[in-house]
Structure 1
């Protein structure tokens, strides 16, 4: 296993925790803001698996979250959020629906990816490991993390290659945006016939190894996708979050999540397929001002690049 240390300290007010089960070949990632934070979500592809994403719809009662959970395990992985919700509730962290003894209601949106066909031992019967993994991930919260085979990306595959968890940061006029991505797409993250990442043009500081396509390279259809091997709905999916220190409104965060999804098209071919369930959250944990649609547009473009780089970094670290 290859991992690379990467700090998320460029954005304060946020911690992340991971847990994995080596035998099952799966894992969970928990993202927790220091204070309840505005959040939006964008869901694409034909096979999503989510919890509490409807809560984030514009115009609803609740517009802040207390944690976000990313998990392997397909539908079983949604149980990871149960553990996070229970633990936060026990600590009094949540939406206050009334005075005691009415319990608070932690808002914990969640998304899952399918890693149930990766060869791990899935004979868990009535005791899937995800609630336990969610608890362990919550207990390991930190401002530092690793990349590659870790957390929700532990059992992931990207096309016919190892998948993984990656982080990348972009800065636009002093405003920071950080992408945290668990990469498990049906498509390939490499240019066909090469070991050059699809997102090579967005590389920073030789984070991908500095590889570039040959001068005479001509693109062709990739053959290293899951379309031949696992051509069934839901056996894939990229999930993650983009976090910014900009003080964005719920509608601005929704647009940011939409634009961030373009990062998948920049780093994976094909992307957003009927066989994926791609889900990205957008979270605001800062107070930097954004001046109108033009600034938001540039921030959204940076979010797409950050997603493309984070996905690629996770895949390369897991290779």
Structure 2
């Protein structure tokens, strides 16, 4: 770890000294590859911000678990948040996160602000030709937290009014794109998904050939360098907690928008720079789905508890109702006696 990294970490965790008193601005960042990788990748961005806003110290706090990052955001443990769009829309709804800027990527000489997934199968699999063909199909993906894979697969199904629980009999997570590629090409899974960027890398490396695979719902778009499935989605945003002072929000936004092309911070973070915040409406179906699932699961839980507590009464009521119905049926079949005067 560089000396500057160590100093900022020491300042952040000094006993009895708050970050605000030390002038430290904390940035929670989702880092699925772990804390050490997150520091290596994102601390140069914090140092760039400090060079532009010298009265403050900026410290990246990498979180490997998305749930932990979102929990600490709800608790107000930091000032700014860098996370993927599906996570951002949840925090926007739950804590009022404010968008500042969006990340830009450079791939094959093109700068873009999009993310995309590739859902693919082997070319010799004639059972799968579109997402409509997924019916209780085994599926493999990189990671449950992977925005460019599993999150976008769910969005593509939701756009088509398909429930992922009905489309797949099971979903296994390989941990990386390599595992997904092996699983599909070995025939262990009919289909899988990974980031469009990773799929293109395998093609360029000769790990797979265009003749050996078929991209489902394949699309191309000028300005985006990869072939992909379905639609394009926005890149990661940097947001501010609602209590973060407006002057600081403005200073951070201005500094990041002014970052020169090819700056070392961008190279370390594997991004091309920052652009004015884009809209994230396309990602909201994931939030709506999660809220709907929560309500349905809660209703089912309450109903199940009620049945358990009232099983005896329910059985007696059903038995009595059935008895009365059978009695009425029998009485209805009895011949009526005529009364003679």
TM bucket normalised to smaller:
under 0.3
Higher helix share: 2
The structure having more radius of gyration, on CA atoms, is 2
TM-score, structure 2 as length reference = 0.22
Q: Which has the higher contact order (CA 8 A, sep 6+)?
A: 1
Higher strand share: 1
